[in-house]
Amino acid sequence: MPSRDSDIGGNRVPATPDARPLAIPPTDWYCSLAAAGLRNPEVHGPARYWLQVEGSFTAALKKACARSFHVEVQREGFATPTLEEARHLAIPLRQRAWIREVRLCGDGAPWVLARTIIPMACLEGAGGRLRHLGSKPLGAYLFSSPHWQRGPLETGLCRPQVSGQPEIARRSLFHWGNRALLVGEYLLPSLYRPHGL
Ligand SMILES: C=C(O[C@@H]1C=C(C(=O)O)C=C[C@H]1O)C(=O)O
């Protein structure tokens, strides 16, 4: 499996010294909250609200902020998705895609890590804008377009390797005709356990 850390070129943003502990850990995906909840009861706790947000996640996070919301691009560029991601997107297994990893920050602190796989077909025509989002949230683009439709949400259970990494995640495909991109959102405990409970 290609290394996520080494093969993203293009507009790669150098990792900041504190980026490592917040890297996205390997994740198992479940089609229902109930199935994931059998393995991690936290899915049924305060994280449940965030796992079920149907509209723009960015908009929901902005509402939860007392002061400010911002997107920090960790890295983005052409790279090879994992085999599981390629299968999920039904694209050729070694085909490169535009991969974007960001931190979604509320009131100055990282709340969510997000990894988006944008296959070549999505970058054609108007989709070319997806390579130039910078710190503009992807959700603002997806939810303001009449073309993109979200598929069902899956719940992820992460296998954190270092403390402080996300433990719970969600992801879904967004479809435009026969094109699809994959958005994964990895919840940091600071989002649903704000007082470290
Ligand atoms: C898909 C959305 O976009 C959000 C913004 C992202 C980005 O800027 O890369 C990634 C995942 C999101 O949670 C959303 O707001 O629902």
Q: Residue 8 falls within a domain, yes or no?
A: no
Look-up of token digits 């603002």: 140
- As a whole number of angstroms, the distance between CA 7 and CA 10 comes to 10
Outline where DSSP puts E strands in 120-190.
Answer: 149-150, 154-158, 168-176, 179-187
The CA-atom distances, in angstroms, between 185 and each of 29, 83, 94, 177, 188 are 12, 19, 23, 23, 10
Gap from CA of 177 to ligand 1 centroid (Å): 20
Alpha carbon of 35 to ligand 1 centroid (Å): 25
Nearest CA to ligand 1 atom 2: 139
- 119 occurs within a structural domain: yes
Q: Give the pLDDT mean for 184-193.
A: 93
Is residue 17 in some structural domain?
no
> Is residue 89 situated within a structural domain?
yes
- Tens digits of per-residue pLDDT, 121-163? 999 998 999 999 999 999 999 999 999 999 999 999 999 888 8
Query: Which residue range(s) make up the domain with 58?
Result: 29-191
Q: What is the pLDDT of residue 138?
A: 97
Q: Is residue 22 part of a domain?
A: no
The 10s digit of each residue's pLDDT in 21-32 is: 689 999 999 999
Number of domains composing the chain: 1
Query: 2 CA distance to ligand 1 centroid (A)?
Result: 24
Q: CB of 170 within 8 A of CB of 32? A: no
pTM of the model: 0.89
Q: Atom 9 of ligand 1 has which residue's CA nearest to it? A: 138
For residue 60, tell me if it sits in a domain: yes
Could you tell me the two tokens for 55? Answer: 């509209």
Does the complex come out with an ipTM higher than 0.90? yes
Q: Which residues line ligand 1 (CB under 6 A)?
A: 56-58, 71, 100, 102, 104, 114, 116, 137-139, 142, 183, 185
CATH of the domain at 103: 3.40.1410.10
Give the tokens for residue 62: 């902005």
Nearest residue by C-alpha to atom 1 in ligand 1: 139
Distance CA(93)–CA(69), nearest Å, equals 36
- The answer to the question of residue 4 being in a domain is no
**Spacing, Cα 113 to ligand 1 middle (Å):** 9
User: Using one digit for the tens of pLDDT, what is the confidence trace for 58-98?
Assistant: 999 999 999 999 999 999 999 999 999 999 999 999 999 99
